Amino acid sequence: MHATKAPRIAIVGAGPGGLTCARILQRHGIAVTVYDHETGPDARNQGGTLDLHEDNGQIALREAGLLEEFFRLSRPEGQEMRQLDPAGTVLFHHTPDEGERFKPEIDRGLLRDLLLNSLQPGTVRWGHTLKAVDGPAEGPRQLHFADGATVEADLVIGADGAWSKVRRAVSGATPQYSGVSFLEAWFHDVENRHPDVAELVGRGSAAAADGERGLFAQRNSGDHVRVYLIRRVPADWITAAGLSIRDTDAIRELLLAQYRDWSPALRRLISDNDGEYVDRPIHALPVPHTWPHDPTVTLLGDAAHLMPPLGVGVNLAMLDACELALALAHQPTVDDALRAYETTMLPRAHETQRLLDHGAEELLSAELPDFATDSGR
């Protein structure tokens, strides 16, 4: 960026997309501040595991100078994948080749720590819950936080996820419920406490569906497994049943009745979990989602193109972040950078949104998915 005065850049959201963008900007000597609503990096569990693909997420990590460290932390064995039928018969089993690096797995918490530790001290300002962005489109913009603080910026980057507050400054779109909900269950110390589950899931993941119900089980690091029970239900199905998310036993009884025809091995993924469930109704933005160009606000990742969780969200967020940071580093002005970035990002997002539209429904399909005929890719 060749402007005479360095722009004040504010990224909202300290997830993989926001942190990747900040890291690459700093590598190019561009100052940036990241604001996040959480009280600190350890405020909550960051979620399960994810795979970073060589044609998007890994490209971003290479530009961030973190690819080799990612490979040291990642689990290439996590690329193992099994597809079963409800009777427990294995229909497809992909085992990664020695040295296969197409999409190794890494826990979200490890990835976040990798990115956080690469930033200059003080880059992330914790405990900043954004309420709104206002100010003229030509800038400067004002970020208003819940504690009454106001920050002025020449560029605001919304990396604040599905329910983005930054999005409201450029788009009236809101995520809509897909009709499909995930219920997350955890298993700890699986090799000792849940050996049957460990054997079923293997080193990677295992999935099954019957057209109405599905499940997806995934090995995490630290001898953990997470299971996602996938069903076509109203978003408020728990309260409609007269329950709360803390009513673990009652929810388990309801689920076991719904999966009653499934094999005992698969039903253990419902009956034997440790602790409470986590309710995750699946939302998506309209297809396509776009907004009028704004010279001082842009979006990346889920804030720009929330889609069903089919393995591409974090990868696209990190690629968005990479391309935006490089545009800011090489274009003469912020406006030129945003135009260059959005010219590439929006068509890519539209195409992926189109391909994944109603993708949550496909997770319930009893048909063998495409990965079974594409070498696990």
Pick from 224, 258, 284: which residue ends a domain? 284
Domain coverage including residue 55: 9-75+104-174+285-362
Identify whether residues 197 and 275 lie together within a single domain: yes
Is 90 among the domain residues? no
**Is 108 labelled as part of a ligand binding site?**
yes
**Residue 371, pLDDT above cutoff 60:** no
Could you give the count of Cα atoms lying within 13 Å of 304 in the half-sphere of its Cβ?
31
pLDDT in tens, 61-103: 999 999 999 999 998 888 899 999 999 999 999 888 887 788 8
Give the CATH number, domain containing residue 243. 3.30.9.30
Q: Say yes or no to pLDDT of 255 above 90.
A: yes
pLDDT digits (tens, 9 = 90+) for 287-338: 999 999 999 999 999 999 999 887 788 999 999 999 999 999 999 999 999 9
Q: Are the C-beta atoms of residues 96 and 87 closer than 8 Å to each other?
A: no
CA distance 38 to 246: 23
Tens of pLDDT, residues 12-39: 999 999 999 999 999 999 999 999 999 8
For residues 110 and 170, membership in a common domain is answered with: yes
Q: Which helix (H) or strand (E) holds 284?
A: strand 278-284
Q: Are residues 357 and 255 in the same domain?
A: no
pLDDT value of position 373: 39
Q: Are 276 and 332 in contact (CB under 8 A)?
A: no
In a domain, 148, yes or no: yes
Verify that 121 and 143 share a domain, yes or no: yes
Give the end of a domain, one of 284, 308, 343: 284
Judge whether 51 is annotated as a binding position.
yes
Identify the bridge partners of residue 294 per DSSP, sorted by sequence position.
none
Please indicate if the annotation marks 357 as binding a ligand: no
Q: Is residue 375 part of a domain?
A: no
Give the SS3 label for residue 372: helix
> Domain boundary residue among 284, 303, 333?
284
Q: Do the domain assignments include residue 112?
A: yes
Cα–Cα distance list, 289 to 134, 159, 227, 324, 357 (Å): 21, 15, 30, 18, 12
- Nearest partner of 209 among 180, 247, 170, 251, judged by Cα: 180
**The residue type at 123:** T
Any binding-site annotation on 134? Answer: no
